[in-house]
Amino acid sequence: MKTIAFVLYPGITPLDLVGPLQVMSVFAAFNPDYRVVVAAETLGAFDTDTPLQLVASHTFDQVAEPYAVIVPGGTEPTYLVMTDERLLERIRTAAAGAQVIGSVCTGSLLLGAAGLLEGRRATTHWATLQLLGRLGADPVSERVVEDGPFITAAGVSAGIDMALRLVGRLAGEQAARTVQLMIEYDPQPPYGPIDWSSVDRDAYGPLVTDTLATALADHPRMLERLTR
């Protein structure tokens, strides 16, 4: 059985994890060759950036050699855990034997901080895309980016797209379409699609810098690396 492991740590954005988790769980329900787990350092409740808390199904020690590892993102707490060497080593260890290494939103910054994206094409939330380059990656402004075993998604809801793309990779287009139907993923936002040409990305730069400065106040080396 092939294990698809989602990484849980304090302060994540829930949809980063729950969106693709739902996709892969439906896929696994139809395909007994796969199982889906949520792995963390402990089995206690973890705060998120919403009032919801999340609990892992397994500890990292219980998930040996996953077939796929997927890392969700967040905001200030994610920036802080970029300095958590224990978590980064857990990610490196899981990725070492994995056939798929994925991320959602700023989860790719954790992959970068772990040294896994050197020279790789990758994406993240549009407001933090420039940070990927400072972590050795080749930043790409696309919703889902694939580079070898790596598959990274842009912000939050893009994790659903990433997971459907992954189902297509593992089992073909028809399987992905079936999962898409079962979760009724048919986006029709009430105000239409985002007009990216009107987004003033530079205007959000100071907000990202200030958030980094707060999160990494006790970690000047990482702060300098991301803001120099």
19-35 pLDDT, tens digit each: 999 999 999 999 999 99
Full residue range of the structural domain in which residue 19 is found: 2-187
Q: Which of 105, 151, 162, 179 is catalytic?
A: 105
Residue 206 placed within a domain:
no
Residue 43 placed within a domain:
yes
Residue 195 has phi, psi (to 5 degrees) of -90, 90
Confirm if 115 and 206 have CB atoms less than 8 A apart. no
Compute CA distances 76 → 40, 57, 84, 146, 211, whole Å: 19, 25, 13, 26, 6
- Considering only 33-37, 99-103, 173-177, 202-206, which range has the smallest mean pLDDT? 202-206
Query: 140-161: per-residue pLDDT in tens?
Result: 999 999 999 999 999 999 999 9
Residue 127 placed within a domain:
yes
* Secondary-structure breakdown of the chain: helix, strand, coil percentages, each rounded to the nearest 5: 45, 20, 35
111 is catalytic: no
Q: What is the pTM of this model?
A: 0.96
CATH of the domain at 56: 3.40.50.880
Residue 95 placed within a domain:
yes
Residue 117 placed within a domain:
yes
Residue 78 placed within a domain:
yes
Distance CA 37, CA 59 (A): 10
38 CB-contact burial (10 Å; exposed 0-12 / middle 13-18 / buried 19+)? buried
Residue 169 placed within a domain:
yes
Question: What integer pLDDT is reported at residue 228 of this predicted model?
Answer: 83
Pairing between β-strand 53-55 and β-strand 138-139 as defined by DSSP bridges = unpaired
Q: Which residues pair with 68 in a beta bridge?
A: 4, 100
Q: How many CB atoms lie within 10 A of CB 107?
A: 29
Residue 81 has phi, psi (to 5 degrees) of -75, -5
Residue 138 placed within a domain:
yes
Total domains, the chain: 1
